[in-house]
Chains A and B, each alone.
Chain A
Amino acid sequence: MSNLIQLTNGKAHISDDAWVLVKLPASQVEARKQAGKVVLFKLTGEKTVTDEQVATTAIPANGKLIVPLSVFIARKAELLSRINKNEVGVWLDTHEVLLSLIENQADLNALPIIVVHVERFADGRIFSIGTLLRTRYGFKNELRAIGDVLRDQLFFLKRSGFTSFAIRADRNAVEAMASLSDFSAPYQGAVDEAQPAFRRYNRIA
């Protein structure tokens, strides 16, 4: 059974996945993934994926694809006709520089789906990435969390703008859905509800 939770008009349900995730081939070089180095990525443009990995990534000839950000940028010409048919989405890791997606894809909403891969559930960068995609860059289509996606982060992911959640394979997605509504009246404005409690309710002292 599918472990993909999807929100449709705010309602959660389990759904089958129509997308194929294209992975990078393994690299001989150890990629830098840690946040301290991300400061370097941003200031120096150091790459997290090798040119060889990008070049040798196998792109299936048919079907709806989610390709790695580095491949999307480097091989966009190859993908163009499929992008125009709404058959291409992009995935990125939490340590990748979101701005490089924006710079290479002026109209984000030409992408039917953006996926953020979180390697460890405790990596909260995913929440800022989701928030930026929704509020800063105006992305309106499906935003999906994949990787070490566990029940107790779902509420925060939803509030950060994610609309689908690929629960880790060894966990029960049906039970996990309950945690999407752990809290019914959050204090602060966020992506899913921009107004803070003090603007939503008439709170009387």
Chain B
Amino acid sequence: MYKYDEIDQRIVDERVAQYRDQTRRYLAGELSEDEFRPLRLQNGLYIQRHAPMLRIAVPYGLLSSKQLRKLGDIASQYDKAYGHFSTRQNMQLNWPLLEDVPDILAELATVQMHAIQTSGNCIRNITTDQFAGVAPDEVVDPRAMAEVIRQWSTFHPEFALLPRKFKIAVSGTQHDRAVVQVHDIGMEFYLDANNQVAIKVWVGGGLGRTPILGSVIREHLEWQHALTYCEAIVRVYNLHGRRDNAYKARIKILVKALGIDEFKRQVEDEWSHLKDAPNTITEAELARVSKHFESMPYETLPQHDASFDAAIASNPAFSTWAKRSLHAHKTSGYRAVTLSLKPHGQAPGDATTEQMHIVADLADQYSFGELRVSHEQNLILADVKLSDLFAVWQKARAHGLASPNIGLLSDIICCPGGDFCSLANAKSIPIAMAIQMQFDNLDYLHDIGEIDLNISGCMNACGHHHVGHIGILGIDKDGSEWYQVSIGGNQGNDASIGSVIGPSFSADEMPHVVQKLIDVYIQERNTEERFIDTVRRLGVAPFKAHVYADKSIAKNEVAA
């Protein structure tokens, strides 16, 4: 993974000093609330219901064991000994003290970490596929470019105060796992007809209050121009994006208002002046950064391992876990492993200090000292030998990290919701837990098969509810919490936004509503059909009819 040189280290060290002084001035009354807000937000610090929340950057989801250990230590020293992994592949602390944040940042800087631009109206953490570099369907490893973009976007002076937040995702696989179509800019790397790395650029996608898939602004961009082309896009947005209404301030609203053709015309006009400017990426720079992402020193191994095969054959629990938690690897004899942060009945994405230390140990022992955070809020060991998997499973299971539910109904994506977040209209974690308890039978979960259930506590959509096969959105109606249900959303190459099935439900009703949706699916599905396939084939109507047919479900009149 990328290791800081003296330049990188100097920037985070100077950031710590800058933020320490900003905090001091705020506490001394030299900065007003309004003036301090964008400063602390651009350092990931929210003021929340119970305490501030600090979001720590995990660039494109990649962590070393040393960094994860430090995160665990920080959670124990400055918080309640746990952290929350978010859908932006970052980690959040729910209970730090505002006064402690400069010290936390100083601790992070010792392991080449920071909280720069993890919130606020600026370019946020660059995200990508959690299997980057090891996925068999990978065409271009996007991590070096993600790092080049990270450096470019860090304290970019022209884009320090945008109309609204700005998210960039990159991917280089046949099957998109980075959800590039729902980002402000999505970059899909591919090899063009001349076998050169090129980029298909999407713009104006996003979730939130107005969910929309991005439009292609350029089918073919040579990689050297990635930064200057982004500059052209963000400049048009910075100058013309709305600043009067936060709900209409994202780039997607501007793209929609102008139309993609006019927006593209303006961007291309800007770019005609920026093309080949000094920010054009050099071969030497890409080569330098790429060196940090070279292949691990893999052993030459056969496709099969006798001890692994024997364990699968003799141990049903291991076999069940393996079926859900192992992912194909481009190198023979290796697998990527998802360690679940979704045990039934616990807040999805949470990890204790102890668990962080355990995962760090597992990474050191079995996966070259590195790991990843997925946007599904799990942790990944990317490079484990087949012969080591049984040992990994045993240790993970002993520490609650081996729920065999990856990709299944109870592997819920969930934002912190009303329990923690001051933006939320409704709680989300208790809904996730209630659904997990409703579907606590593992055989049944496996029979239901692959399904994404995503929950957001408000329309800011941190839980990505629009692209869940089943999406649940918490809404506020006259001071009480209700839940709106949509089905048919999907992430990936054939991404889609879900359709709301009808009036919303109370928290108590939610497990039954999900149950009813599943009942329709089980009854109607064809062989090998996933939930999303059945929804796409039949439409929303039969699901809606069954859910609302039951008179015991009290209807709420909130309109879709």
Contacts and interface: CB of A to CB of B under 8 A. Distances in A.
Interface string B4-34: 0101001100110010001000000001000
Given A35-B242, A187-B152, A205 B160 contact: no
Given A36-B243, A157-B157, A188-B157, 13 more contacts: A34-B242, A34-B243, A39-B254, A121-B161, A124-B158, A127-B157, A127-B159, A136-B273, A185-B11, A187-B152, A187-B154, A204-B288, A205-B288
Interface string A130-169: 0100011000000000000010110111111000000000
Contacts of B153: 188
Interface stretch (A52-60, A109-117, A189-197): A189-197
Nearest to A198: B285
Contacts of A158: 157
B39 interface: yes
A25 B39 CA distance: 34
B234 to A, nearest CB: 9
Contacts of A153: 160-161
Nearest to A136: B273
B151 A187 contact: yes
Interface in B328-379: none
Given A128-B158, A189-B277, A198 B244 contact: no
A201 B241 CA distance: 35
Interface residues of A, number: 48
Contacts of A125: 238-239, 243
A184 B14 contact: yes
B258 A35 contact: no
B278 A195 contact: yes
Given A35-B163, A190-B157, A190-B158, A198 B282 contact: yes
A38 interface: yes
Interface in B146-196: 151-163
B120 to A, nearest CB: 10
Contacts of A136: 273
A127 B292 contact: no
B218 interface: no
Contacts of B258: 39
A85 interface: no
Contact of A38 (B10, B160, B239): B239
Contacts of B39: 152
B241 A184 contact: no
A122 B258 CA distance: 24
Nearest to B286: A198
Contacts of A36: 241-245, 248, 253, 257
Interface in B19-67: 22, 31, 35, 38-39
A46 interface: no
B5 A203 contact: yes
Interface residues of B, number: 54
A20 to B, nearest CB: 29
Contacts of B159: 124, 127
Contacts of A199: 278, 282
Interface string A22-47: 00000000000011111100100000
A182 interface: yes
17 contacts: A36-B253, A39-B254, A42-B240, A123-B243, A127-B159, A127-B160, A128-B158, A129-B239, A152-B35, A156-B160, A183-B18, A184-B14, A186-B157, A188-B279, A190-B158, A201-B7, A205-B288
A171 to B, nearest CB: 8
Which one of B5, B157, B257, B281 has the highest number of Cβ atoms from chain A below 10 Å of its Cβ? B157
A157 B157 CA distance: 7
Contacts of B520: none
Contacts of B163: 35, 124
A186 B241 contact: no
B535 to A, nearest CB: 36
A193 to B, nearest CB: 9
A127 B15 CA distance: 20
A127 B11 contact: no
Interface in A78-127: 121-125, 127
Contacts of B243: 34-36, 123, 125
A34 B288 contact: no
Contacts of B38: 122
Contacts of A190: 156-158
- 5 closest A-B pairs (Cβ-Cβ)? A124-B161, A36-B242, A34-B244, A159-B157, A205-B291
Interface in B210-253: 227, 235, 238-245, 248, 253
B459 to A, nearest CB: 20
A205 B240 contact: no
Contacts of A124: 121, 158-163, 238
A157 B235 CA distance: 15
A194 B18 contact: no
B26 to A, nearest CB: 11
A37 B284 CA distance: 43
Nearest to A192: B157
A155 B158 CA distance: 11
Contacts of A185: 7, 10-11
